[in-house]
Structure 1
Amino acid sequence: MRPAVIFIIITIMIDAMGIGLIIPVMPDLIREVNGGDLSHAALWGGIMATTFAVMQFLFGPVMGGLSDRYGRRPVLLLALVVMAADYVLMSIAGSIWLLMVGRVIGGITAATHATASAYIADISKPEDRAANFGLIGAGFGVGFVVGPLMGGVLAEYGTRAPFWAATVLAMGNATLGWFVLKETVKKENRRRFEWRRANPLGAIRTLGHLPGIRHLLVVYFIYHVAFAVYPSVWAYFGQERYGWSPAVIGYSLGLFGVMMALVQAGLIRVVLRQFGERGTVLAGHLFSILAFGVIAVVTSGTVALILTPLAALAGVIPPALQGIMSRQVAANAQGELQGALSSSTALAMIISPMAMTSAFAYFTGSGAPIYLPGAPFLLAMSLAIVSLFIFLSRPAAQNMA
């Protein structure tokens, strides 16, 4: 694997850590700076996750558009340096409002997911893009492993220790990128940056007019709303349902991330060869529906961990959808496409944390009509069913690999 691709994967990993790193320590960190009980902390956690996602939503297409104009290299390197500075801020924040500022900056710098995906599109043949996008998903999965594990293990040394480690990682990767990352956007393929295209809703709307894209954008969006139930409520759900400590929550999320990485780096290639992109999307939905439903009702933490591989199999969906869509846009619009997809994911992360943590708080608080900690997973299952039906309503010929 070429060094530049390794850098891209590490960049995505660090982007994912911006979400995963804070998950195990979030319940304790919020109560440390703001007080309150677990249900109250869950609501604040939802607000902070939404803030992070709002910034990703707003800046995903901006980053993608800037990379189409000025190149992938400067956008990626500058974002990593600013990200390192943000982790320093998070490590010293003494109030909920400074933590919120940190989430604002973190969301902006993590919006380079679009630029990293565009880089992969630049260096891949059209027929290889779906499988290579799996490397992006694998990087995210590894980040989802490293982040929660780091957060869980280092939580033993205080709620701020993980952020100092993340600072070192971000600066280290920026240094690596300085030496190995070559520019892939040729001068003849660069285009003028336009705020109209950089508007997240405008970018999604523009791409939605392309033949066969609209249904896939909706499916991509709903999938991410449902799948975000894991980072949104897992720490609170694990404490409430199973009595897990931050370390155990970190280990459980790490296991989930390992399985996601294995699925998206290796298994997806086998699944794509066997079922094609359409069949891969269908299979992923079926696995996610089953996993959400079972996790919602199981009362054993051991069984929940055993179900982790089943839940991770849903990770085949995004690369397959990206592969279908990337073949339907021009070479000089790959950054715009990935920016729109990044904004779609971020929009899902705006909606999902508030919806999922509110459902958790409503069904676990003192005035709950029934005690149902798994309510967010039942909501996610319902969304996955809707997403599947929308995908099936699209003509099969348009989904063929």
Structure 2
Amino acid sequence: MSAPGEAGAATSRLPILFIMMTVMIDSMGIGLILPVLPDLILELNGGTLAAAAIWGGILSTSFAVMQFLCGPLLGTLSDRYGRRPVLLVSVGVMALDYLVMALAGTIWLLLGARVVAGVTAATQSTATAFLADISAPHEKAARFGLVGASFGLGFVLGPLLGGLLGEMGTRAPFYAAAALAALNLALGWLVLPETVTDATRRAFRWRAANPLGAVRHLGRLDGVRVLLAVYFLYQLAFYVYPATWAYFTQARFGWDPGLIGVSLAVFGISMAGVQGVLIRPAQRRLGEPRMVQLGLSLCIAAFVTLAALTDGRVALALIPAAALGAVVAPSLQSLMSRATPGDEQGALQGVLTSVNAVAVILAPLVMTGTFAAFTHPAAPVYLPGAAFLLSAALVALALGLFLRRGPASG
């Protein structure tokens, strides 16, 4: 399948716009429904708010688990059948799935729709592989940064739009998400070229399409195994922000929900600026290895500082500086992409999607558990910032692994 007017389209901005929109809608889809989810679950299932919270956790976990399972599958399918059909089918299914959620009359139908949503959200692997296909080696970090910037914008816009649309009813955010996905599908149909050629097409293999098999296979490539470990430790540590920020800032600074929301928006915008704008000149000046070292060092400093702070005004002012650590992920992606053959770019990005999904699954449990252990009445030491100290230790381990990597790692 090829796109209309394919000649020269791979280097145009419209395909990149489609990729950014796809990632942003994936990210928005997570936050868009959060403001209405408690009321929607009560509407469908009745019961108490506590019971609704349990169902909310089940819905979130099922979404992340499907991302983990299906990231390598979609990436490997795109290595075999092409980026275009995998992306367009996934975006189309996403639009239909949001429509099903808008019309769901039972909690079980909503759960099934969230499972499907987790599969379609795994397209980030294929979207990133598309950018790897059309980018020269020196462009990859900046292009991967656009993916992170799009995710950051979706992180900011999702809850904001969800809250506004939720005033119109619990189903309104789902209709809006379905419309956005349908419009993005139309854009992709018109502008997205196929970037997988006969020279880079790879036979479909199940061992590369499941997360564990894909990790084992790519881990055999020089340097990739260490970089995957560094990537996982970094992602697990970085998710301390969404996992504990609301609890930490209330306990330490007494912030109300409005200020917490503003601070998260500032963080999301700062991340988007770092990954969408700052990373390109930084890559030219420093190169990916130094960017990883600098970003990990900045993360350690930010985590330790936040754990020790007692003034909320200082914490708010430090948020843009803390977001500078966001240079790490696209830089690591670029290093791994360079070390991976052209016919396995989709598989690599699928593995990274799964690794990230594992971090999403574990981080809330690990980080909130650490917060609870040091803030409950019987805690030996009252330390609301304990989770940030744990994150600092994880990043320090990641930095040590990165510094000891072999020369083939970049």
TM-score (norm 2): 0.86
Change (3 A) 1:284 1:34: farther
Counterpart residue number, 2:219: 208
In structure 2, what is the Cα distance between the partners aligned to 1:244 and 1:29? 24
In structure 2, what is the Cα distance between the partners aligned to 1:290 and 1:143? 27
Counterpart residue number, 2:8: none
Change (3 A) 1:389 1:98: farther
Contact kept in structure 1, 2:236 and 2:359, CA below 8 Å: yes
In structure 1, what is the Cα distance between the partners aligned to 2:246 and 2:27? 16
In structure 1, what is the Cα distance between the partners aligned to 2:183 and 2:144? 24
Q: Is 1:336 matched with 2:347?
A: yes
Counterpart residue number, 1:59: 70
User: Residue 295 of structure 1: which of 301, 306, 318 is its match?
Assistant: 306
Greater mean alpha carbon deviation, residues 180-189 or residues 112-121: 180-189
Counterpart residue number, 1:179: 190
Counterpart residue number, 1:383: 394
Contact kept in structure 2, 1:150 and 1:250, CA below 8 Å: no
Counterpart residue number, 2:23: 12
Counterpart residue number, 2:206: 195
Change (3 A) 1:239 1:48: farther
Q: Is 1:398 matched with 2:393?
A: no
Q: Is 1:108 matched with 2:90?
A: no
Deviation at 1:300, TM superposition (A): 4.7
Contact kept in structure 2, 1:34 and 1:96, CA below 8 Å: no
In structure 2, what is the Cα distance between the partners aligned to 1:268 and 1:120? 16
User: Residue 131 of structure 2: which of 120, 124, 132 is its match?
Assistant: 120
Contact kept in structure 2, 1:24 and 1:152, CA below 8 Å: yes
Counterpart residue number, 2:236: 225
In structure 2, what is the Cα distance between the partners aligned to 1:48 and 1:2? 36
Contact kept in structure 2, 1:60 and 1:111, CA below 8 Å: yes
Greater mean alpha carbon deviation, residues 345-354 or residues 295-304: 295-304
Change (3 A) 1:254 1:154: farther
Counterpart residue number, 1:264: 275
Aligned residue for 1:271, secondary structure, equals helix
In structure 2, what is the Cα distance between the partners aligned to 1:253 and 1:291? 16
Partner amino acid for 1:117? T
Partner amino acid for 2:155? F
In structure 1, what is the Cα distance between the partners aligned to 2:352 and 2:139? 19
In structure 2, what is the Cα distance between the partners aligned to 1:153 and 1:82? 25
Q: Is 1:35 matched with 2:45?
A: no
Aligned residue for 1:130, secondary structure, equals helix
In structure 1, what is the Cα distance between the partners aligned to 2:302 and 2:365? 21
Contact kept in structure 2, 1:49 and 1:353, CA below 8 Å: no
Deviations 1:308-331 (A, max 9, x none): 212211110011111111111211
Counterpart residue number, 1:134: 145
Contact kept in structure 2, 1:49 and 1:232, CA below 8 Å: no
Change (3 A) 1:294 1:88: farther
Aligned residue for 2:222, secondary structure, equals coil
**Structure 2 regions of 5+ residues with no counterpart?**
1-11
Partner amino acid for 1:277? E
Contact kept in structure 2, 1:43 and 1:358, CA below 8 Å: no
Contact kept in structure 2, 1:3 and 1:180, CA below 8 Å: yes
Counterpart residue number, 2:7: none
Change (3 A) 1:41 1:290: farther
Deviation at 1:64, TM superposition (A): 0.4
Counterpart residue number, 1:315: 326
In structure 2, what is the Cα distance between the partners aligned to 1:286 and 1:80? 37
Deviation at 1:18, TM superposition (A): 2.8
Contact kept in structure 1, 2:227 and 2:409, CA below 8 Å: no
Deviations 1:207-256 (A, max 9, x none): 111111111010011111111222333345456654433x5544332221
Contact kept in structure 1, 2:38 and 2:49, CA below 8 Å: no
**Structure 1 regions of 5+ residues with no counterpart?**
none
In structure 1, what is the Cα distance between the partners aligned to 2:127 and 2:68? 16
Greater mean alpha carbon deviation, residues 94-103 or residues 72-81: 94-103
Deviation at 1:88, TM superposition (A): 3.4
In structure 1, what is the Cα distance between the partners aligned to 2:111 and 2:380? 32
Deviation at 1:303, TM superposition (A): 3.4
In structure 1, what is the Cα distance between the partners aligned to 2:112 and 2:370? 26
Q: Is 1:274 matched with 2:285?
A: yes
Aligned residue for 1:209, secondary structure, equals coil
In structure 1, what is the Cα distance between the partners aligned to 2:377 and 2:343? 55
Give the aligned CA root-mean-square deviation in angstroms.
2.8
Greater mean alpha carbon deviation, residues 108-117 or residues 25-34: 25-34
Contact kept in structure 1, 2:224 and 2:409, CA below 8 Å: no
Alignment coverage as a number of residue pairs: 396
TM-score (norm 1): 0.88
